[in-house]
Each structure stands twice: as C-alpha cells, then as structure tokens.
Amino acid sequence: MRSTAPQDYTLSTFRALANTLIPPPTNQDELESTPGASDMCIYEYIVYALDHYIPIQTYVYQGNIPLALPTALMINEAARQYAYTNRPPFSYQQATQSNHHFFSSLSRQDRIQTLAHLEDLNLDLYTLPTPFQNNAGLIKHVTDALNRLTLFGYYSEWSSYGSTRLNPPDERYQEFFPLSWYHVGYPGVSLGYRDFRGFLLRIRRNEGGR
C-alpha cells in the first residue's frame, strides 16, 4: 500500500490514541508479555473500523463515509483547543512545530483530558471538520467509539491475524495466539470445560413448569 500524507497523519494520530488508552509497559522486559495497543498495530484496526462504520447513500452513490481522517482532524483540533486553554504557554510556534499533530504532542494525561472534553462537547464545535461540525451527537458517538474500538481491537483476536489483519474479513487467518489473551489468561476457542458442579434446580415439566 502506497503511503500518502493524509494516511500518515491519520495513522500517527490513532497511534497516539492507542498508545494513550493502552500504553506500552514502563519496564521494557514486559514488552513481549503486555505490549501496548500501538505495538499491536491497533491504530490500523481503528482506521479500518471508522472507515467502514457508516455506509449511507450520498448524492451520487451508495458507499461508506470514511470517518478516520475527519476523526483524526477532530481529535487534533480538540487537542489544540485543550492545550491553548489549559496548558499555556502552548504557543502557536509549538503547534506548528508539531506539524498539526497536536494530539500526539500532548502528555498521556492531557490526551485523555482532550477526549473527555470532546465527549463533554467542551469546545467550539464550529471549528470541527465535516461531518462533525456542529454535530454534537456524532461527536459523542464517535469519541465513545474510539475507546470501545481500541479495547475490543486489543483484547479480541484481531492482532493475531498478523500479516492478514488488513485483508477483507473472510480472508484473514490466525497466525499466532493473541498476546492479549495470553496476558489475561483466556484460553481462546474451547471445546468445553469440565466444571460441572451439579444443578441447583431442575424444571418440573409435568407440574406445568411450576
């Protein structure tokens, strides 16, 4: 896949998001057992999900409204407004140096505060890109979804599709056991468990079920 500037921008924003919600371990020795969400490429999962989330009819054709880029723009705009208000002197110069990657230039804690402000609509909604501009419901919905997608992407088996992870859903194959499942102790797909401890009650049908 050819890399383009908007793609880089989108991916790096969601890399910062994934890194914020599920960070890599502070101790490098634990990186293999409990990697961060960005180590497991969860930002690619988020981009795919956002770009396929809302398929509606536009004026010309039926298709997906790709939300990843506008969502990345929205997060960065929210980060910019958060930093100007709460983290002076966050200067214009600083912002331009970070090449409009405002969100990733913030600390982890400030990034979470940015998401919270966005979800609480605590910013100027007019400055947001289409389709989020002045669209409070969609802002709340998608900001919430960013959390759910990151957590589901990380703790489901998605990362274990390895080199096939970005293929269409029916052309993905598990290449290894998901690290997150290993970390939480989930054995994965199971045929059954021998943990039958009896019945507390049985239904008595011949008595009319009562």
Partner 1 sequence: MSRNPDVIVIGSGGGGAVIAKELGEIGLSVWVLDAGPWYGNCKWPNPNQHRGAESSDDPKDLDGNLYREQITRREGDMNDIVTGKFRWGPADRRRGPWFRNIPDQAILWQNAGIGGTTLHYYSNSPRPYPHSINHQWPITYEELIPYFEKVEETLPVEFAPTTSKEAVFYYGAERSGFSLNDSLDVSTVGYRPQPNAILPPNEHLMDPNYSLEELSHMEGCTLAGHCGQGCPYGPSLEKMAKRSTNISYVPLALKTKKVTFRPNAFVTKVLTEMNPSGEHQAVGVQFRDTWTGETEEVNAKIVVMAAGCIETPRLWLNSDLPNNPWVGRGLTNHYMDTVTGTFDEDTLMNILGQPEINPFVGHTSGARLDYPGVGMIETLGESPGLTAQQLFGFSQAGYYQYNDASKPGGRVVGEPLKEDMGDYRRTLTLLAITEDDVQYRNRVQLDPHIKDEHGHVPLVHYKPSHQDEKKRDYLVEIATNILKHAGAKSVYRSNLAPNLYIHLESTMRMGFVVDSSCEAYQVNRLYIADNSVHYNSAGGVNPTLTTQALATRTAEKIVEKYF
C-beta closer to partner 1: residue 72 or 115: 115
Binders of partner 1 in range 27-56 (CB under 8 A)? 34, 48-49, 52-56
Piece of the chain touching partner 1 by CB under 8 A; list 4-12, 57-65, 79-87, 95-103: 57-65
Least distance CB 6 / partner 1 (angstroms): 20
Q: Kindly state whether residue 114 participates in binding partner 1, applying the rule CB under 8 A.
A: no
Q: Kindly state whether residue 200 participates in binding partner 1, applying the rule CB under 8 A.
A: yes
Piece of the chain touching partner 1 by CB under 8 A; list 6-14, 68-76, 87-95, 198-206: 198-206
Q: Kindly state whether residue 1 participates in binding partner 1, applying the rule CB under 8 A.
A: no
Binding test (CB under 8 A) with partner 1, winner from 6, 32, 94, 120: 120
The dihedral region occupied by 99, where left means phi > 0, alpha psi between -120 and 50, and beta the remainder, is: left
Binding test (CB under 8 A) with partner 1, winner from 75, 151, 164, 166: 151
Q: Which x/- pattern, by CB under 8 A, does the window 129-148 give for partner 1?
A: ------xxxx-xx-xx--xx
C-beta closer to partner 1: residue 94 or 120: 120
